[in-house]
């Protein structure tokens, strides 16, 4: 049970951590990329403004002073183009790789774009310093390859960082989980031990009460008239309490390896005997108890405990099926598993209760007294026994139609035929 909780806790921690890491990495990446792009844009804009500032009209001729060395432009992965006011290209500097193929929008506004080659393109209109007339355009472009390379490196860094963080924190969370679970496990074990000890200690006084009540009832002549009924009630209550303490003791001990004696068991015989045993009880309720048990079903298990588990299921099926109903016990081999199905046409269980029926002391009809119904420990005991045999128990049910309990148990490794 605790292994399952630890595992779930570990997975939840890992999931939360993974989501937090993913979210933070995404946020860091977003901020980093937008800063990088903004810086590149500001740099290109500054160069473009500076370059455009050197242009002027000289005797009707559009002239500029800034000349860039081809090597410098290649290194900076930049290019510049000059256009007349109509958008006709006058000159270009820089490698064609860094020259944009975007058509120039001849509008007197500053534009910043990314073209289909992934180049950053800044278009500046140039005005005459004296009469403020549009005299041409400067288009500055730069490659964003360097930024892409930096982003790729950042991605690798973030991925490696996330993996290292997840590995380290899994180790840390495993350790923290075991630290946190230790006291819970200890107190749960202490509680279980207490239940086992208390149930054990209650056995003797209950036995004493029961024996005395029985002795008193054996000689009714020694009892005051009218007290016989009281002694009968004492005997009955003691019987119920003894059963309850035995159930609590069994539940408290199901996790202890030593409390189970595993041996090779013939499930076919075990189930057939149980059906024979419960046939008369079913008949008194006019319930048809049917059986379809395959032969040669072998498994490794504790016979007494398995009898207890299947008894609970068969007794419940008979108890919760009205007069004239049907109960069918079937069993077969399914690959490496043995499937035992106990199906009834009884009162069924509401779907909202199905999750709870294996809980300790849970009963659908709480208004029924302990004498009428059971203690609510039966299915908890059955589940604990089945799980101790590395098996599973599931239920499907429909109110007023019936219930079907499926028990799957691993088959014995070497199969012996009947």
Distances (CA, A) of 353 to 276, 361, 407: 31, 13, 19
Q: Which is nearer to ligand ADP, 201 or 350 (CB)?
A: 350
Least Cα distance to 333 among 303, 290, 363, 296 occurs for 296
Q: Are 344 and 317 a contacting pair, CB within 8 Å?
A: yes
The answer to whether 77 touches 142, Cβ cutoff 8 Å, is yes
d(CA 76, CA 37): 15
Question: CB of 225 within 8 A of CB of 233?
Answer: no
* Both tokens assigned to 5: 């909780």
Q: Which is nearer to ligand ADP, 43 or 279 (CB)?
A: 279
Q: Which residue is nearest to ligand ADP (CB)?
A: 374
Both tokens of residue 310?
Answer: 């299947």
Query: Between 44 and 377, whose beta carbon lies closer to ligand ADP?
Result: 377
CB 343 within 8 A of CB 404: yes
- Tell the smallest beta-carbon distance from residue 408 to ligand ADP (Å): 18
- Distances in Å between the alpha carbon of 346 and those of 175, 320, 403? 49, 5, 7
CB of 353 to ligand ADP, least distance (A): 7
Q: In angstroms, what is the C-alpha Rg of the chain?
A: 42
- Which of 139, 408 has the CB closer to ligand ADP? 408
Minimum distance, C-beta of residue 184 to ligand ADP, in the bound complex (Å) = 25
CA dist., res. 380 & res. 375, Å (int): 10
125 versus 391: smaller Cβ distance to ligand ADP? 391
Decide whether 346 or 391 has the Cβ nearer to ligand ADP: 346
Residues near ligand ADP, by CB under 6 A: 312, 316-317, 320, 344, 346-349, 357, 362-365, 373-380, 403
Question: Minimum Å distance from CB 242 to ligand ADP?
Answer: 15
CB 360 to ligand ADP: min, Å: 8
Q: Are strands 326-334 and 288-293 parallel, antiparallel or unpaired?
A: parallel
Kindly state the tokens that stand for 117: 């080659």
Give the residue with the Cβ less far from ligand ADP, 136 or 346: 346
Residue placing its CB nearer to ligand ADP in the complex, 348 or 391? 348
With tokens 């590395």, the residue in question is 390
86 by Cβ neighbours in 10 Å (0-12 / 13-18 / 19+) ranks as exposed
State both tokens at 295: 């032969």
SS3 at position 56: strand
Q: Least distance in Å: CB of 204 to ligand ADP?
A: 25
For residue 287, the minimal CB distance to ligand ADP (Å) is 12
Q: How far is the CB of 328 from ligand ADP (least distance, A)?
A: 12
Biggest distance spanned by C-alpha atoms of the chain:
144
Least distance between ligand ADP and beta carbon 220 (Å): 32
3-class DSSP state for residue 140? strand
Q: Which is nearer to ligand ADP, 79 or 384 (CB)?
A: 384
Which residue has 């049970």 as its token pair? 1
Residue number with CB closer to ligand ADP (158 or 386):
386
Q: Which residue's structure tokens are 């008979």?
A: 318
The helix (run of H) or strand (run of E) holding residue 339 is: strand 337-344
* Residue 10 CB, nearest approach to ligand ADP (Å): 31
């Amino acid at each position: 049970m605790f292994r399952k909780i630890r595992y779930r806790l570990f997975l939840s921690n890992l999931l939360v951590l993974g989501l937090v890491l993913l979210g933070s990495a995404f946020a860091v990446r977003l901020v980093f990329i937008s800063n990088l792009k903004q810086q590149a844009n500001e740099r290109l804009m500054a160069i473009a403004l500076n370059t455009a500032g050197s242009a002027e009209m000289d005797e009707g001729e559009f002239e500029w002073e800034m000349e860039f060395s081809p090597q410098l432009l290649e290194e900076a992965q930049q290019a510049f183009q000059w256009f007349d006011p109509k958008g006709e290209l006058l000159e270009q500097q820089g490698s064609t790789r860094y020259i944009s193929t975007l058509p120039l929008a001849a509008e007197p506004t500053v534009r910043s774009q990314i073209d289909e080659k992934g180049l950053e393109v800044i278009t500046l209109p140039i005005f005459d310093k004296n009469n403020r007339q549009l005299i041409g355009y400067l288009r500055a472009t730069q490659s964003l390859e360097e930024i892409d390379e930096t982003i790729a490196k950042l991605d690798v860094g973030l991925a490696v960082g996330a993996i290292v963080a997840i590995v380290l924190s899994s180790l840390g969370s495993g350790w923290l989980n075991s630290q946190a679970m230790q006291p819970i496990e200890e107190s749960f074990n202490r509680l279980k031990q207490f239940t086992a000890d208390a149930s054990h200690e209650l056995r003797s006084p209950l036995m004493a009460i029961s024996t005395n009540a029985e002795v008193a009832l054996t000689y009714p002549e020694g009892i005051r008239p009218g007290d016989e009924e009281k002694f009968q009630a004492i005997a009955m209550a003691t019987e119920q309490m003894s059963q309850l303490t035995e159930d609590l003791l069994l539940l408290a001990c199901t996790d202890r390896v030593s409390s189970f004696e595993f041996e090779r068991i013939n499930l076919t015989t075990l189930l057939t005997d149980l059906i024979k045993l419960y046939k008369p009880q079913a008949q008194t309720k006019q319930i048809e108890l049917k059986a379809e048990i395959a032969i040669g079903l072998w498994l490794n298990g504790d016979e007494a405990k398995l009898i207890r588990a299947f008894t609970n299921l068969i007794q419940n099926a008979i108890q919760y099926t009205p007069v004239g109903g049907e109960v069918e016990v079937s069993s077969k081999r399914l690959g490496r598993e043995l499937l035992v199905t106990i199906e009834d046409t009884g009162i069924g269980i509401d779907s909202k209760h199905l999750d709870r029926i294996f809980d300790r002391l849970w009963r659908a009809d709480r208004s029924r007294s302990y004498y009428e119904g059971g203690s609510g420990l039966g299915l908890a005991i059955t589940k604990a026994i089945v799980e101790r045999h590395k098996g599973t128990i599931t239920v499907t049910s429909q109110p007023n139609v019936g219930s079907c309990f499926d028990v799957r148990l691993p088959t014995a490794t070497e199969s012996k035929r009947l």
